[in-house]
């Protein structure tokens, strides 16, 4: 049974983390539309900071985010701005089906030997093996889709929109966000994902007591994030979602590092973590307290429920991020026909995408620990039957890395918002 248990956690970790295979990335040649240069961390940081010192920053009681957009515009036109050519794995072929079943419950769930044997029989002889193989092949063996990842700083400058309007249009935006959090505080506020998965999978042994306690701690434990960053997050989100009526930050997030392995390393396949049907997301995703959030949504009769991810490099990093930054899909280039829903049974659905040359991906070069990318992962509007298009994303290797590049340490913080 120890072997079965080990295999279970390896498989579940792979499914949850979406990270394994590395992929290549090269810089685009210099052109009128692509400003690429091998810049040092000192040059890019000094230039960025000198500009920002002269501009008001939104999110901390000020009311002119357009001015700060203009500052970013100047940064985007600097020599440090650049697009990148890369290959993104995790994209299905255009001819793929829209739904695949990846059912490892017979292996990962705590159950009787008889039920495990029946589940295994169904897996191997009902077509589930073929679908699981397709999923594994696409994410870990299939050659990635070649694509240009565009400089989002330059895109913000080109659009000339306020931070709030850019976020509303594209589903992601960069905010200046100096935090009082320390490196130790970030680490102390990390969710233990392996323990969470284990306690959920073995919940029938103690009537779910350990799992319920861990989920309660996710929301209520007195962590540095709850004491410090939760309040900072509320101010930031209110600055770009002024119609928000309630912002509900948790006590913990996910701290990732470049050597974090399957569970705590960068997720290197294009994905979103939640589907488009609210009830299905609530009832079938066991790793976020959606049921409690839906109850508040219904009790307040709010018009909108959003799950916002706040992603940033964090201390102890001391140089701009070039170690697997995130890139984001412009959701206006996405259609329902592009979606592939991976049904993992007890662990819910994992949306992925088909290849589409019309898709446009963006990233923010040289992010610092004083910046955060805010992006939508789920957006339900009351009178709409399905959620609005989410922001698909993935980590990718920055082509300007070298042997001196500092390894990524980052924090993702998922905050519920009612409006």
In sequence order, what DSSP letters do the residues of 195-218 get, joined into one string?
A: HHHHHHHTGGGTTTHHHHHHHHHH
Q: How many CB atoms lie within 10 A of CB 123?
A: 19
Q: In Å, what is the CA distance from 223 to each residue of 217, 228, 250, 284?
A: 9, 9, 10, 27
Residue 6 clears pLDDT 80, i.e. is over it: no
pLDDT value of position 80? 54
pLDDT value of position 298? 97
Residue 62 clears pLDDT 70, i.e. is over it: no
Instruction: Report the percentage of the chain scoring pLDDT > 70.
Output: 81
pLDDT value of position 243? 98
Contact call for residues 221 and 252 (beta carbons, < 8 A): yes
* Adjacent-strand bridge partners of 328: 362, 393
pLDDT value of position 411? 98
pLDDT digits (tens, 9 = 90+) for 124-178: 888 888 888 888 888 878 877 788 999 999 999 999 999 999 999 999 999 999 9
Please confirm whether the linkage preceding 316 is cis (ω < 30° from 0).
yes
Q: Which domain holds residue 259?
A: 2-418
Contacts 24+ apart (CB under 8 A), 97-100: 97/340, 98/339, 98/340, 98/341, 99/340, 99/341, 99/342, 99/343, 100/131, 100/132, 100/134, 100/135, 100/340, 100/341, 100/342, 100/343
Residue 15 clears pLDDT 50, i.e. is over it: no
Give the phi and the psi of residue 381 in degrees, each rounded to 5: -110, 135
Residue 47 clears pLDDT 50, i.e. is over it: no
pLDDT digits (tens, 9 = 90+) for 69-85: 333 333 334 445 689 98
Tell me the average pLDDT across 243-257.
Answer: 98
- Cα–Cα distance between 408 and 419 in angstroms, integer? 34
pLDDT digits (tens, 9 = 90+) for 186-238: 999 999 999 999 999 899 889 999 999 999 999 999 999 999 999 999 999 99
Tell me the average pLDDT across 333-340.
Answer: 91
Three-state SS for 342?
strand
pLDDT band for position 42 (cuts 50, 70, 90)? very low
Which range of 121-125, 202-206, 314-318 scores highest in mean pLDDT? It is 314-318
Count of domains for the chain: 1
Mean pLDDT check: name the lowest of 22-31, 91-100, 130-139, 221-230. 22-31
pLDDT greater at residue 56 or residue 101: 101
In the chain the first and final C-alpha atoms are separated, in Å, by 48
Residue 74 CB-density burial (10 A; 0-12 exposed, 13-18 middle, 19+ buried): middle
- Rg for the chain, CA atoms, rounded: 21
pLDDT value of position 128? 81
* Token representation of residue 143: 């050659």
Kind of pairing, strands 339-343 and 99-101? Answer: parallel
Kind of pairing, strands 145-151 and 91-92? Answer: unpaired
Residue 307 clears pLDDT 60, i.e. is over it: yes
* Token representation of residue 53: 């010192």
- Residues 6 or more apart whose CB falls under 8 angstroms from that of 250 comprise 218, 219, 225, 226, 230, 413, 414, 415
The residue behind tokens 């912002």 is 247
Three-state SS for 419?
coil
Identify the DSSP state of 190: B
Identify the DSSP state of 37: -
pLDDT value of position 123? 79
Tell me the average pLDDT across 59-78.
Answer: 34
pLDDT value of position 229? 98
The model's pTM is 0.79
- Cα–Cα distance between 73 and 60 in angstroms, integer? 20
pLDDT value of position 13? 46
pLDDT value of position 111? 74
pLDDT greater at residue 269 or residue 9: 269
Among residues 266, 236, 258, the alpha carbon closest in space to that of 412 is found at 266
Give the phi and the psi of residue 42 in degrees, each rounded to 5: -65, -50
pLDDT band for position 245 (cuts 50, 70, 90)? very high
pLDDT value of position 371? 98
- Cα–Cα distance between 176 and 165 in angstroms, integer? 16
Mean pLDDT check: name the lowest of 60-64, 176-180, 282-286, 317-321. 60-64
Q: How many CB atoms lie within 10 A of CB 37?
A: 15
Tell me the average pLDDT across 382-405.
Answer: 93
Tell me the average pLDDT across 10-33.
Answer: 39
Residue 24 clears pLDDT 70, i.e. is over it: no
Average model confidence (pLDDT) for the chain?
82
* Helices 152-159 + 163-170 axis angle, to 10: 110
Q: H helices within 53-159, ranges in order? A: 65-76, 105-108, 113-125, 128-140, 152-159
Contact call for residues 394 and 336 (beta carbons, < 8 A): no
pLDDT value of position 109? 72
């Amino acid at each position: 049974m120890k072997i079965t248990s080990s295999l279970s956690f390896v498989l579940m970790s792979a499914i949850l983390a979406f990270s394994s295979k590395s992929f290549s990335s090269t810089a685009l040649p210099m052109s009128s539309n692509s400003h690429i240069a091998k810049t040092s961390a000192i040059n890019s940081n000094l230039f960025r900071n000198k500009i920002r010192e002269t501009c008001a920053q939104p999110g901390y009681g000020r009311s002119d985010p357009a001015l700060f957009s203009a500052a970013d515009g100047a940064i985007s036109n600097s020599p440090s701005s650049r697009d990148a050519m890369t290959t993104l794995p995790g994209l299905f072929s255009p001819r793929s089906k829209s739904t695949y079943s990846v059912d490892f419950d017979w292996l990962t769930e705590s159950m009787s030997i008889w039920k495990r044997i029946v589940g295994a029989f169904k897996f191997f002889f009902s077509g589930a093996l073929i679908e699981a193989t397709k999923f594994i092949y696409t994410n870990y063996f299939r050659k990635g889709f070649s694509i240009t990842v565009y400089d989002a700083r330059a895109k913000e400058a080109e659009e000339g929109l306020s931070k709030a309007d850019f976020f509303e249009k594209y589903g992601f935006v960069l905010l200046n966000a100096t935090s009082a959090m320390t490196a130790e505080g970030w680490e102390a506020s990390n969710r233990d994902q392996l323990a969470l998965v284990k306690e959920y999978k073995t919940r029938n042994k103690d009537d779910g007591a350990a799992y319920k306690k861990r989920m309660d701690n996710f929301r209520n434990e007195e962590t540095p994030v709850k004491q410090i960053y939760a309040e900072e997050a509320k101010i930031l989100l209110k600055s770009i979602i002024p119609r928000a009526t309630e912002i509900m930050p948790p006590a913990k997030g996910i701290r990732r590092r470049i050597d974090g392995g399957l569970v705590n390393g960068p997720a290197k396949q294009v994905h979103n973590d939640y589907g488009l049907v609210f009830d299905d997301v609530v009832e079938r995703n066991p790793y976020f307290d959606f049921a409690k959030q839906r109850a508040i949504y219904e009790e307040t009769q709010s018009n909108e429920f959003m799950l916002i991810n706040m992603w940033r490099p964090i201390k102890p990093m001391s140089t701009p991020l070039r170690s697997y930054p995130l890139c984001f899909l412009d959701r206006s280039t996405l259609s329902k026909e592009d979606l592939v829903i991976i049904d993992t049974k007890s662990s819910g659905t994992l949306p992925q995408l088909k290849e589409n040359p019309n898709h446009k991906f963006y990233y923010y070069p040289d992010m610092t620990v004083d910046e955060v990318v805010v992006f939508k992962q789920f957006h339900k509007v009351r009178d709409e039957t399905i959620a609005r298009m989410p922001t698909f994303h993935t980590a990718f290797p920055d082509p300007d890395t070298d042997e001196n590049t500092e390894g990524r340490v980052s924090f993702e913080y998922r905050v519920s918002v009612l409006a």
